[in-house]
Structure 1
Amino acid sequence: MATVQVISPVEPPSQGLSKLSISHTTPALDTNPDLPIIRSQRLDTPYEPSLKLWEADQKAYQKPATLELDPLPEGFPERAGGPTLWDGRELANQPEKWLHQFTAEEIVDVEQAAAHFDSLKLPYSAITQETFPLSALKPTLAKVVEEIHHGLGLRILRGLPVQKWDRHTQIIVFAGISAYIGRRLKQQSTSAIVHLRDLTQFDPKERPKIVLKGQTNANQVFHTDAGDIVGLITLGRAEKGGLSQLSSIARTYNELAETRRDILRTLAKPDWISAQYPNGVALFYHLDGRVVAQYARRPFFGFYDAPDRPGGVPPLKHEQHVALDAIHFTAEKLSLDIDLQPGDMEYFNNLQVFHARTESEDSPENTRHLLRIWLRNEEHALNHGPDWDARWKNLVEPFDEKFPLEAWEPIEDKSGLPKARGY
């Protein structure tokens, strides 16, 4: 068997004098450079969901006397169904439904494929099923694809020996296995992968701008990313916390359909305006027979180093604030919380599963560090329709793929940061 080189990872930049705290008036990534930036006042509630606001609204809410007076959004079902309808509190006791342990044969298969690709001396962008050939693991990955699209919508693969591999090999393996799940989509302009770890501990002059909640140790709000499939590989685990949280969008929908149909009507109305969508979009859809969502808080509230909402983009209405908080607290109540270990891979259907993360605390010995990839499987993906084709045009078009070796390597994004290094 060909061997895979093991070396120490690249050293991080020097640490800053103190750990930064997360501001509740952090700004938004979703900006238009042609519009002026408003920094003199906050037009919206903070990025973080407000349990106080949600509970007060629940207390004040008066449910209409009849369903005729309280309709669901037009075209939406009375109840969402199918295999992606699950309660995470129950799934937590049924790991056999969502967890696969890599076998010794599968690990050998992966390492041989990585060594083969390394021998080709090709750029990471050349990683495909052909250049990363698998045999023993291939049937398992076919089942993962089936489960993501036609089953629970999630799968955890456990037990890769990532801590004995160098970063070069870790990236090859992550991209190589992911090539059997779907084709890579664009993240942050040119990046095929993104590092998720706490960057607030580093000197702001030496680290890239923080534009993702995953670049901090604070809890992540329930949301979806862009693209059809989200893939993660855990390279390092935090000393405390950092649980991965997954929640069924169908189950969240049913809960709100029973208790707060007004919120569903708000979420399905195409008047959610941001710099990216100045004409407005909906956040919930009935698409190809399934209830799906595309939602993140950052375009509406802002976050950390990213710019504020631009002028001309109106603040959210009160009912929209409440609807966003309703998503978070409902999904949180129904979530499957997973303590990802080093070597775990997590894939889930981004249109049918909300995701979040609990706050974490690193130590010198244990640091949270994951790689993220966005994917689409053309054979199994939902039929999005022309509106979504336009919405995701930037994601799916060919791009000059970059694979940053470390989290502190700059990544080009909408704010004009330089491109990532690596190849």
Structure 2
Amino acid sequence: MTVTETTEAPPVTPLDGNWTVEDVKREFPVDQTFTYEPSRHNWIERQFKNAAKHRGEGLPVSFPESIDRPSIWDGFEVQNHPERWLYYLTDEQNGALKGALAHWKSLNLPLGKLNKTTFPLPESFKAVTEAWVEILLNGLGFLQVRGFNIDDYSEEDAIIVYTGLTSYIGDERLNLYNQQLFGHIIADPNYGPIDIVAPAQVPVEQVFHTDAIPAGNIVSFLAVNGAETGGDSTLSSIGRYNLLLTSYFSGNFNRGTPGKSEKRPLLFHENGRIIVAIARRSVTGYGIWGRHKSLPRATEEQKEALDTLHFLGRKHSLNIPIRRGDIQFLNNYEVFHARKAYTDSADKQRHLVRLYLRIDRIEWERSEHLKGHVVKKDEAVDLADEIWNFKPYAPIKAAA
């Protein structure tokens, strides 16, 4: 199997607020044959064109013929068994969360000191969270927690309670993006074309992907609010692809930012698991932002491979409506996630608060395949330097 390879690209003038749409289109051209929005027609056509190249190919070296793990599931099957992945908080547990918040406030500590000790839950609740971790690591790989009494709190307090609860899931929470702790998934009508670099900023469908989480392996979300219509979370088991691998799936995919790109297999086999670490946007770009002109274009085989992952993900996916107060946990390397398009209203604007976590029992940084993708634990930003960005930041406006 090919390991990660990092390559340097020519330096690029950073976006400084003075770029125009034409500047972006010139420096970051979009490949119109391979955009963020997958085309089923193009996918089928590529399969015919590439068929001769794949004839006689077998599984990549080190890949087993099949893998039998609980994380390999079909959406239709688990949709009909919500007891396997949907957990409703009890009145007693909601009371325990409210009591933990009161205890936390009585300590008058900096927010970075929020942890299991300063946000204490009863032993019975701890046992439940330990069962959740087992589901994430050795079960389906995802969990939806419902019934959190979010209306009992201010928005800030609700986020504090959510963060306190996540301290029982992850051994560490991760502050990224200039030390900001939270990602805010919300559509802002003030964004212009040059401001939109990801589908999270607009109410459109997101394709199946995993997140880039330096030092972590768990994605979590708190639904501060749901949409007026749509916006379902869609999940799919990465392990469903273990019988459909061909050697070109393990080839290098260039992805990255101006000045630096990396090459890494799309799929690989690690510790008895099929693992994916890919966001389609890192290869195609999004909106008017394509890949920088200095970076290599995706090959026809790579385009087919990425489309295959998306359309198979859709075929085997599970849909979960997002309600206000819902909390979701995902094993980022074994579960793909996506989102349905949605419509906001004056009363209901879909808003998820995202927090990345690390569970030490999965030592992903040992993987040769993820070198350059995962930051070692001792390189993570100290929690004392956390920036608790409770509110979404306004877009940085650029020239028209």
CA contact (8 A) 2:365 2:371 kept: no
The SS at the match of 2:265 is coil
- Separation (CA, whole Å) in 2 of partners of 1:393 and 1:203: 31
Q: Which residues of 2 match residues 34-53 of structure 1 at below 5 A?
A: 34-35=11-12, 39-40=25-26, 41-43=29-31, 45-53=34-42
CA contact (8 A) 1:226 1:374 kept: no
- Give the aligned partner of residue 67 of structure 2: 80
- Give the aligned partner of residue 404 of structure 1: 389
- Give the aligned partner of residue 371 of structure 1: 353
1:90 Cα deviation after fit: 0.9
- Separation (CA, whole Å) in 1 of partners of 2:343 and 2:10: 35
Could you tell me which of 211, 228, 235 is aligned with 2:224? 235
CA contact (8 A) 2:196 2:287 kept: yes
1:169 Cα deviation after fit: 0.6
- Give the aligned partner of residue 213 of structure 1: 199
- Tell whether 2:128 aligns with 1:162: no
Q: Which residues of 2 match residues 223-302 of structure 1 at below 5 A?
A: 223-227=209-213, 228-254=217-243, 256-257=244-245, 261=246, 265-275=247-257, 278-302=261-285
With structure 1 as the length reference, what TM-score do the two structures score? Answer: 0.80
Q: Which residues of 2 match residues 49-68 of structure 1 at below 5 A?
A: 49-60=38-49, 62=51
Pair 179,379 (structure 1): closer, same or farther in 2 beyond 3 Å: same
After superposition, the CA RMSD in angstroms is 2.8
Pair 309,383 (structure 1): closer, same or farther in 2 beyond 3 Å: closer
CA contact (8 A) 2:223 2:326 kept: yes
The SS at the match of 2:58 is coil
Once the two structures are superposed, residues 229-261 of structure 1 have per-residue CA deviations (whole angstroms, 9 ceiling, x without a partner) of 11011111111110101100001333x24xxx2
- Separation (CA, whole Å) in 1 of partners of 2:320 and 2:262: 38
The SS at the match of 2:77 is helix
1:118 Cα deviation after fit: 2.1
Q: Which moved more, 1:38-47 or 1:309-318?
A: 38-47
Could you tell me which of 115, 124, 127 is aligned with 1:139? 127
- Tell whether 2:158 aligns with 1:173: no
- Separation (CA, whole Å) in 1 of partners of 2:191 and 2:25: 23
Q: Which moved more, 1:156-165 or 1:175-184?
A: 156-165
Pair 356,364 (structure 1): closer, same or farther in 2 beyond 3 Å: same
Pair 222,368 (structure 1): closer, same or farther in 2 beyond 3 Å: same
Code of the aligned partner of 1:216 = V
CA contact (8 A) 2:10 2:294 kept: no
- Separation (CA, whole Å) in 2 of partners of 1:266 and 1:64: 10
- Tell whether 2:190 aligns with 1:193: no
- Separation (CA, whole Å) in 2 of partners of 1:60 and 1:33: 33
With structure 2 as the length reference, what TM-score do the two structures score? Answer: 0.84
Could you tell me which of 367, 377, 385 is aligned with 1:385? 367
Percent of matched pairs sharing the same residue: 32
Once the two structures are superposed, residues 188-232 of structure 1 have per-residue CA deviations (whole angstroms, 9 ceiling, x without a partner) of 231211111111x13659xx9443322210001100002311101
Code of the aligned partner of 2:230 = G
Query: Unaligned 5+ residue runs, structure 2?
Result: 1-7, 14-22
Q: Which moved more, 1:269-278 or 1:131-140?
A: 269-278
- Give the aligned partner of residue 355 of structure 1: 337
- Separation (CA, whole Å) in 2 of partners of 1:107 and 1:157: 12
Pair 403,150 (structure 1): closer, same or farther in 2 beyond 3 Å: same
1:168 Cα deviation after fit: 1.5
Code of the aligned partner of 2:96 = D
- Give the aligned partner of residue 115 of structure 2: 128
- Tell whether 2:103 aligns with 1:116: yes
Pair 387,89 (structure 1): closer, same or farther in 2 beyond 3 Å: closer
CA contact (8 A) 2:30 2:291 kept: no
Q: Which residues of 2 match residues 314-329 of structure 1 at below 5 A?
A: 314-329=296-311
- Give the aligned partner of residue 20 of structure 2: none
1:83 Cα deviation after fit: 0.7
Pair 320,328 (structure 1): closer, same or farther in 2 beyond 3 Å: same
- Give the aligned partner of residue 149 of structure 1: 137
Query: Unaligned 5+ residue runs, structure 1?
Result: 1-30, 416-423
Decide which structure has greater strand share: 2
- Give the aligned partner of residue 92 of structure 1: 79
- Separation (CA, whole Å) in 2 of partners of 1:33 and 1:405: 37
The SS at the match of 2:223 is strand
1:184 Cα deviation after fit: 0.9
